[in-house]
Amino acid sequence: MTHPTPKVLLAALGLALAAEAGAADSMRCPGGLVGLGDLTVDLLGKCGAPALRDRHTQTQDAVAVNAAQGVILAERITAEVEQWTYDFGKNAFLQLVTVENGRVVRIEQGGYGHGLPPLTGLRRPAVSRCDLALRPGDTKVDALGRCGPPATSVAWRAPRTMVVETGQMATVGDSARVELWVYNLGPNQFLRLVRFEDGRVTSVETGGYGYPE
């Protein structure tokens, strides 16, 4: 078996470093700074609609390692992945934002922009009044009846349970359909993050301040 020479290894390392050089932890938009972990509603509120929005489904395998049998496939799950490309004009670099399951997971810098207009129809007006006294077990109809449609929503599949015992293979239950609805109540109130599993509320949390219409 042949081994790569030091020259080849250095070249490969250079390519890897070049790829990472374009990545960043945040980007500055007209409405403020957007960073890793932020919601899509933060992107829309601070940066507006992107010039391009690509979407695809990414499949991953949840596996467990057993000393006797090796790697065993336990569950296959999917994630909704999008890449939002922001074009701030010919004098600024393109910003490529990867969103997974409704949150920013990667920010990259591209070449100079082209001045393309943003997409329309991605942003809904802020909800002026909303009774989000939702409890675990409530349905999506309850949320729609009290607040109407959310500002943004995303859905994916995730393992419902995973139990790991020492020295044994991890066992994974059947997967659940997870949805995250984000309600924008305006700049003077906090965002509301409603999480559903299989159509029923599992949690309601608050985010940062909302955004004007």
pLDDT tens-digit series, residues 117-166: 887 766 666 776 676 788 888 888 888 888 888 999 888 887 765 555 55
pLDDT in the model for residue 68: 58
The beta strands (E) that lie in 70-185 are given as 70-86, 93-100, 103-112, 152-159, 162-163, 171-172, 175-183
pLDDT tens-digit series, residues 187-212: 998 999 999 988 889 999 999 999 98
Determine the Cα–Cα distance for residues 84 and 98; give it in Å rounded to an integer. Answer: 6
More confident residue, 6 or 69: 69
Q: How crowded is residue 176: how many other Cβ atoms within 10 Å of its Cβ?
A: 17
**Contact indicator for 189, 127 with CB cutoff of 8 Å:** no
